Each structure stands twice: as structure tokens, then as C-alpha cells.
Chains A and B, each alone.
Chain A
Amino acid sequence: MPRTFARQLYELLSSMRFAVSLLTVLAIASVIGTVLKQNEPYNNYLDQFGQFWFPVFESLGLYSVYHAGWFLAILTFLVISTSLCIIRQAPGMVKEMRSYRTGAREASLRQFAHKHLTHTGLARDEAQQKVSEYLLARGYKSQSKVQENGVLIAAKAGSWNRMGYLLAHSAIVMICVGGLLDGDLPLKLEMMLGSKHVTGLDKPFAEIGPESRLGPQHWSYRGNVFLPEGKRSNIAVLNVQDGALLQELPFSITLKKFHIEHYSTGMPKRFASDIVLTDLQSGAQLEHTIEVNKPFEYRGVSLYQASFEDGGSKLKLKAHSLLPGSMRVTEADGTVGESLQLTQGSDAMRIEITGFRPFNVENMAQPSVAEKNTLAMLNRSLGSGAKSADGKDLKNVGPSFSYKVRDAAGQAREYNNYMMPVEQNGRSYFMAGMRETPAEAFRYLRLPADEDDKLTTWLALHAMLTSPKEHALIARRFAAQAMGGPGVSDTVRTRLADTAERTLGLYSERGFESLGKFINDTVPEPEREKAADVFVRVLQGCAWEAWQLTRERQKLKPLEMNAARADFVRDSINSISDSFLYGAPFYLELDQFEEVKASIIQATRSPGKNGVYLGCALLVAGVFFMLYVRERRLFVLLKDSGEVLMALSSNRKTLDTDTEFARHQEAIESLLNHGTRTP
């Protein structure tokens, strides 16, 4: 019984039941890929699911659901099913569109849901003419046929409804086929047949062989071209599975300049790449600017502004030693994306420069204590939409750069330093961020800027306070300053100097941490707070003296104490204490920079696009005809007996059909009885 089986399969595939099931299954299957983030590096999935589930989910294609075999199979079924459905329905529909059904019998008309029986006093020809004219005026086309007991006027309107079905369903087929062609199905086949293999990107492109390269004539692709300013490339990188393939383009692109503009709020406003495109066949060159939302197409390849990165900015750096007592400065030239070697004391360290940002916009507003009562809240939200709810104060705080310091064991800490001092609570600080792992946020060391907006004073203070050989001198000067009056005995002064020296000694071990430990170990609980207070005051005094001492050595005039300088001293001893946790024996200052930007341009070839767009146009037209053109058939049987039977059918059962029939019924009835009074 193979024929009947084939027949049954055909009927199943082209049936409505199957269509609705397919639509539902497709909808549910689509959900998966939105819940699970797609196309992430495989390691992320391994972390997320563990050793056991990772391979299971991988074999189900869950990391790239929309390209998984089973998902493509559903789409293929949709195409097959819709095509079969069209094949099955189309001939009948076309016939139906053409036909007037003039052969309809009285008996069948009487079965219609909308029917009405009336009389006419007019002669048959006149009645027929009037009715036909009426129908024509209402947008119905009609044909009449003489039947055995009268004449049947069969009229139809809205036949385009059926056309709508054909258009919309063919459109689905076109869109799916176009989409499948533009997808990675062709590439998948090539990889399955073993002619292409993904590669890692840890070596230069030139070393990647033909088994991981696709020629310029490749059918469809979507990849990224990485272009630093002034550089040229004809390779787009396609991310495939857990690796990459190189797509050769039929032209090369040179990035002349990358533009990035911002609004005053710091939000990005424009990204644009000035490129020169060189046709590799003809050698022809043309210049163009690509922007977000303004792509450029050349020889079937579209180029888009996808993203941007640092393209290897050149940084002039100064490494200030943070080793005890050292004021050494080492100069170094760095390039973003590369690493450099730095020796500090006995250690050689590798510094990987990871990023550079020419400006940073930060919200500098003080968190305000806004009134919380309803009326105040309401009042705040009246007025224009320009009002900011939380009084933001956005400022550009200048360039910053980031780097990693890797120790001998290969462990890396990450740093992020700002070039210029940042204002906070009316004081200026150099911000030096550090984190141990990428998962943390940066913790910032706030190094106070001096009166010239430099870090010099802080660095000098740091060297003095951490240098044991200076402690005695500082302590002595502090004691003399604090108890210099004539009534104070030398022993008291010496005791104070000793205390100060010990304090400095402890502080230069690990800052407040060592002092705190000392207090805990030696001072009874109730007096600890007071002791801490004394230590801090001693430290502040010493720091002030150390500051004056550095000035003296540079032959500068001593300073008068004032509130700002007191703040500076306080900030300095806090940050010197924090610097023990900084984890690097130097502070890297950004002295000068020369920014080099890189644009990431996406290159795509999608030849199925035109089919898809045509399909979309047909779909819109089809849906419109299906939903907004009702097919209606109106029959008026003028019987020789003077009886008139009207009937209406529609393939849409809506209330509109009821009202329409009522109207026609009334209109035709009065038309046929106009001026004649039949009893």
C-alpha cells in the first residue's frame, strides 16, 4: 500500500493540523536559544554546566540552537509543509477565484446561513438588470444563468482573499529558503565533509593555512575585520564553533581614521570609519565613511561599523618606585596590546598594557539627601522631561589606562590608572585602581595631588616616611616643633622623639595595620581609642616635618600650615598606609600618549537577502488580502413565479457578514418592489 501511505503523508504534511503544530513547535524551540546565551566561548558553558552536562548539551546543539541540525530540520519541515499546502490548495483556489458558481441549485441556496425569500412585481429582465446594476455598484462582479425555474444572478467580491493565501504562504517559503541560504548551512556542509577546519587566533594570519581560509567567492558569510588606524586588511574573521575561520575579501580596506564623538552627557553620539577600499582585481580605489546605521556595499559585500577597540596606542610611562625610601623613576615606552619589561630593585616584572581610554565621563554629583515624602516626590517629577531625577553631574576626568603586572609565578594583578587628578570633595587625587581578578571591581588608591597638581610631594613623603634611616631625624624635628617651648625639659622632648620614631618604624612596616596590631598587643582595651588618636596625631606631625624636610633639602622655603595642607597630610598618611596593599612596587604614571584607534568592521555577504525581502513584501500583501478582503458570494435567484431567493456566503464568519447581508437584503427588496405594490 505504498501509494496510500504516500498519500496519507502528503495529506498530513499539507494539513492545517500539521501547520498549527509546526508553528507551535517552532515557537517553543525558539525559546531555548533566548534563555541560554548563544555562541559563547565553550569554556563558559563548561563552567556553567560542569563536566557531565556540557557534552550532553553540546551534542544537542544548545550552544548554537538556531544552527543545530534539529532546528534546521523544523524549518525544513515548515518549508516542505507550506509548499505542499500551496500545491494542494492552489489549483482549487484559482478555480474558485475564477468561478461564479452559476450552477448553484435552489435547494443548496436554501441551506445557506444567510438567505432571504421575497417577491418581485417586476418583469424578469428588468429585475435582472436592476439587481445586476446594484451589485456592480457595490463592488460585486456577477454572471447570470437561466435555470429551469428562473434566472440565477451569481455575484462575487473579494476574490483577492484567495490570492492573499497564495502570496503569504509562498512568501513563507521564500523567506525560509533565502534565510537558510544566508545562514551557515553551506559552510557546515564544507566542514562536515572535512575540507575546512577551525583554527585558533593565537598566531599571525599569515601562518594560518588554506584549510582554515575561505576564498573571496565563498557564498555567504559574516565576519569581523580588525583595522587599526593606518593599517590595511582583507581578512574577515568568522567565529565558528569554538574557533575561527579566515574569510578572504575581494578587496582590502585601509582605515584612515576612526571617529568617535560624544554628547555632553558622555553618551556616545557617533562612530565612524574613514576607509579606503582597494579592489584586489581591478586595483580601483574608493574612499568612503562607514557609520553605525550607514553601511556600505561593494561587490555584494556589505561593510558595517560594528565596534571599536584600541589599536595599539603609544604610551609614555614613568614608573615611580614604591620601595621603602626609594625615589627612583624609570621611564618606559609602552604600546597597548603589548608588554614591557620593568626592573624594580632585584625583580624583573612583565607589564602587559591592556587598554587605554582617552576620556572617562563620570558622575561627580554628591549623593543628595532627597526628600522622600510623596508631595516632594510628585513635585520633582512635574515639569519638563529634561530634568534629571538624581541631579547628575557628569564630567570628563581625562585619560586612563590599564595594565596587568605578572609576577614570577605567573599570577597577574590588574591596574587602572588615571592620568589626571580627579576632584573629590573639593580635593584632588590621582586614582590608582587595582584588582586581583577580573570578577572584582577596581579598588582605588587615592593619592593626593600637591599644590602644583602633581604627585611629586606625595612620592617624596612616601619615600621619607618609609625610609627607616630618616625616621630619627624626622622624629627629633617633630619633638622640637611640638614641645619646643622653654618650659619643657629635654627628657620629655627625647621621650616624645622616641615615641615618634617608634611610631614611624611601625608605620613603615605595613601602615596602620602594624600600628593597630601594636596597640592591640600592648594597650589595654579601654585606652585603645585614645592611644590610636595619639599615634595618628604623632604621624601627622611627623609627616608635616618630613614634608618640610624635603623642601629644605631642595632649598625651598618652609610652608605655613593651613587647612588644605593639613588635609593633604592626612590624605597622604592614609594613602601611604593603603599603598602597602597595592601589590606592586611601583606606581605607573601616564606621562604622554598618542592614541591609535582600531575600528571593527563587519563584512557580510548574504545573497539570499533579495529573496527574503521579496518574500517580506509578498507576505505583507498576502496578510493584508487574507485579513482585510473578505470573499463574499451573493446569489439572487429570480424565479419565474415572481419569488426571489437571496443568499450570501463568505469564507469569513464575522458580524460584518451579517450586517452586510441585512443591508443587501433590504436594498434589493426595495429595488425589486419599487413603485409596485404587490399584495
Chain B
Amino acid sequence: MELAHPNAPVSLLKGRSPLDWLAAALLAAGGLFAFNRYSAYMDGYEQAFLLIAIPVFAALAWAWAGLRNLLAGVAVLALSGVSLYHADLARAEQVFLLKYFLSSQTAIGWMCFLFFLATAAYWLGLLAKSEFAEKTGTALCWTAVLMGATGMLVRWYESYLIGADIGHIPISNLYEVFVLFSLITALLYLHYERRYATRKLGAFVLIVISAAVGFTLWYTFSRGAHEIQPLVPALQSYWMKIHVPANFIGYGAFSLSAMIGVAWLLAERGILASRLPSLAVMEDVMYKAIAIGFAFFTVATILGALWAAEAWGTYWQWDPKETWALIVWLNYAAWLHLRLTKGLRGSVLAWWAVVGLVVTTFAFLGVNMFLSGLHSYGEL
């Protein structure tokens, strides 16, 4: 994810495959179709988002073939799901494909199941040194992301079927952001898997994802948290739509770095050392993940401040969630100082990253569980 990517092609347009062009054309066609048909219902920000999304997704699809295929798959499945509904929510119970495959709860259920399987496959691959099992893990992980992303998009549509005034993007409560977290962490991992050409770290990263998935399931079964709720006035803001995803890229990247930190510490003690990538490679992934997490978390915190200024009348008021976001941010700022300017390496940084996960988890979940504040966004 470096700007000055040493291996970046000199020309962006040269050497593009027909598939790349097809992907870009489809994205542009879909985006423009949506714009043409729905722009009357959107405000200026939403129109801008939609138009900017076209080149951004095209660029991502070109840079990463796996992502391109994912986008295509998600588009096909989500559109099928939406069209099967015939604008009638009751069909989720009646149509076989919806009930057992494409309706949002079912699709997210598949995601959960597939992430568990992927975790098992990666561990099998790591312990048995089986490349086949590892590749299966990768395939399962991609499929899980496919189903999860489909589920989220279908959920988005379902929310509008409940009522035009209730419809909203599904990133507005703790249940939804947990699914988002799982998806983002998995995609970040898959990115590094490709960049560093090693599938060995999947076993560790998927543990965090499985934990999130486990929580999601518990939250569904015991609290009925999956039910789509309308947005209370405080959440009716376009800031939410960018603040929340940016935050979760941060949380996802920090979690990933912590799991690499665990792998590093084990390898340093000779545990699994022969099976894991070299310490230098893990170190590098850890740094890359924290760097991207820090960049996004900085942006997310600032967006949060801008939103707070609009919703609560002040950009900073030491609300527990805000304060813990600052603590997380300071923690990784300190990490980067140690690593970049002291050139410090090794177990201090790995431990620090692991402790970072504890701090991050508290900011993400603990604040909602134990502290009260204005972020009354999903309580436990």
C-alpha cells in the first residue's frame, strides 16, 4: 500500500487485461445507471460519493484481481437477492434461494460458518504443512467475504423494504459494525497474503475474525441484535457513513497487527518457527498494518470530531468513546515513534502491538459495555 510502490508499473494503462477493462466498464455502467435513476433521491454528498466510487473501485479492481472477482461476485449475488424480493419482505420466508442463501441473515450466517471453516483450514495448513489446506483456507476466506458483503448489501435493501424512512446503510449499530469489522479485517489480511506471498499468517489473523464472528452469533441469538432498527436523529448524518468505515479499517488493521505480533513472539521462542514466515517479514507486515491503521484511524478520529461538532456542538468533549479513541491513537503514535525514529525492532514492538489489541478492543467494545456516554450506539 505504499505510494512509491517500487514495483508499480510505469504506465497505468499499459498491459491491462481485457478483464480489467470489462470490470471498469461494468463499474462505470452500473454507477452511471444508478446515478441516472436515483440521483433525484440523493443529496449532493451522496451523488459525489457515488461518482467517486466508480474510479476508486475501478482502480482497486485493477490493482487486485482477487478484489475484482469479489466485486463481480457480490454484484451478481446481491442483485439476485434484491430482485428475488419483488419488494416484498415476506418472500424472505417463502423463496428457497432467499431463505437459505441470499437473504441478509442467511448470507451473514454463511459468512460466519465459512470464516470458521477458513480458520480450521489455515490451521490445518500451518500444522500439517499442507499447501492444499492453506489454499482451501484462502478460498474459504474469500467466499466468506463474498457472502458477508452480499448479506450487508441485501440488508441495506431490506431496510428500505421495512419503510422508506427507515432505510439506511447497515453500519449503524454494534451488530452491523461487527460484520463490517470481520469483512475489513479479512480483506486486509487477504491483501497482505498476496503482497507477501505467504498463507502462513492466516491461521493467526483468522482467530481474531472468528472471535468477532462468535460475538456476532452470540449477539444474534441471545440479544436479537440483528433486527434492523431505524436511525435515531443523532445518527442521521452523512458523517456516519464515512466515520464508521474509516474507524473499522483502523480497528481491523490494528487487530491484524496484533495477531502478527503473537505469531512473531511465538516464532521468536522457537514455536512454529519453521512453519511461519521469517521474523523480518512478520515485522514488516506488522509495521504496514499499523501504518495503514494509524492513517485511517487519524482520519476517522478527525471525522468523528467534525461530526461531533455538528451533532453535539463541540468537536471534542472527552466523551468516553472519544477519549478511548485518543488513547488508541496515542498508543500507536508511540509505537510508530519507537519503530521509525529509534529503528527499534523486536519483541518490545511485538508486545506493544499485542497490548494495542487489548486497548483497541476496549475502545471498540469495552466502552459500550462498561462506560456510559453519548455514543449510545449499541449497548450490551
- List chain A positions with a Cβ less than 8 A from chain B: 16, 19-20, 23-24, 26-27, 30-31, 33-35, 37-38, 65-66, 137, 139, 157-158, 179, 182, 222, 263-265, 267-271, 291-295, 302, 304, 306, 377-378, 381-390, 602, 604, 606, 609, 612-613, 616, 619-620, 623-624, 626-630, 632, 652-656, 659-660, 663
Contacts and interface: CB of A to CB of B under 8 A. Distances in A.
B4 interface: yes
Contact of B228 (A157, A386, A613): A386
A390 B226 CA distance: 11
27 contacts: A20-B334, A24-B330, A27-B331, A30-B318, A30-B323, A31-B327, A34-B367, A66-B318, A269-B230, A271-B233, A295-B310, A295-B313, A304-B311, A304-B313, A383-B99, A383-B103, A385-B105, A385-B158, A385-B159, A386-B158, A389-B223, A389-B226, A602-B312, A604-B314, A627-B291, A628-B1, A652-B340
Given A27-B331, A270-B233, A630-B2, 9 more contacts: A291-B233, A293-B311, A382-B109, A383-B98, A620-B298, A629-B3, A629-B4, A632-B4, A660-B6
Given A385-B105, A606-B314, A620-B302, A267 B224 contact: no
Nearest to B318: A66
Nearest to A292: B233
B57 interface: no
B236 A265 contact: no
A388 to B, nearest CB: 5
Contacts of B310: 293-295
A321 B90 CA distance: 52
Interface stretch (B12-20, B41-49, B66-74, B279-287): B279-287
B350 interface: no
Nearest to B305: A616
B351 interface: no
Given A16-B341, A20-B337, A620-B302, A384 B6 contact: no
B120 interface: no
B236 A293 contact: yes
A653 B343 CA distance: 8
Contacts of A612: 305, 315
Closest 4 CB pairs of A and B: A389-B224, A660-B6, A292-B233, A384-B92
Contacts of B327: 27, 30-31
Interface stretch (B25-33, B141-149, B161-169, B204-212): B161-169
Interface residues of B, number: 84
Contacts of A179: 316
A174 to B, nearest CB: 13
Interface string B294-338: 110011001001100111111110101001101100110110111
A609 B310 CA distance: 12
B233 A269 contact: yes
A30 to B, nearest CB: 5
Contacts of B323: 30-31, 33-34
Interface string B266-295: 000000000000001100100110010011
A20 B105 CA distance: 45
B302 A263 contact: no
Query: Which interface residue of B103, B233, B295, B302 has the most chain A CB atoms within 10 A?
Result: B233
A629 B156 CA distance: 37
A385 B227 contact: yes
B130 interface: no
Contacts of A33: 318, 323
Contacts of A31: 323, 327
A20 B280 CA distance: 24
Interface string B163-188: 10110001000000000000000000
B93 interface: yes
B2 A628 contact: yes
A383 B233 contact: no
Nearest to A651: B340
A634 to B, nearest CB: 12
Nearest to B285: A655
A616 B320 CA distance: 21
Contacts of B334: 20, 23-24, 27
A184 B98 CA distance: 57
Contact of A267 (B105, B232, B367): B232
A263 B165 CA distance: 8
A659 B7 contact: yes
Nearest to A663: B6
Query: Which interface residue of B155, B221, B298, B326 has the most chain A CB atoms within 10 A?
Result: B298
A619 B309 CA distance: 18
B309 to A, nearest CB: 7
Contacts of B376: none
Contacts of B281: 655
B326 A602 contact: no
Contacts of B2: 628, 630, 656
A390 B223 CA distance: 9
A19 B337 contact: yes
A33 B3 CA distance: 39
Contacts of B103: 382-384
B100 interface: yes
Given A34-B323, A264-B163, A385-B228, A222 B313 contact: yes
B331 to A, nearest CB: 6
B234 interface: yes
Interface string B229-256: 1101110110000000000000000000
A505 B100 CA distance: 67
Given A264-B163, A654-B287, A20 B313 contact: no
Contacts of A34: 320, 323-324, 367, 371, 373
B104 A306 contact: no
A386 B371 CA distance: 29
B342 interface: yes
Contacts of B313: 222, 295, 302, 304, 306, 602, 604
B6 A624 contact: no
Nearest to B91: A384
Query: Which interface residue of B100, B103, B161 has the most chain A CB atoms within 10 A?
Result: B103
Contact of B220 (A381, A628, A655): A381
A293 B104 contact: no
A629 B337 CA distance: 16
Contacts of B106: 382-383
A67 to B, nearest CB: 9
A265 B230 contact: yes
Given A26-B330, A389-B224, A620-B298, A16 B337 contact: yes
A285 B109 CA distance: 57
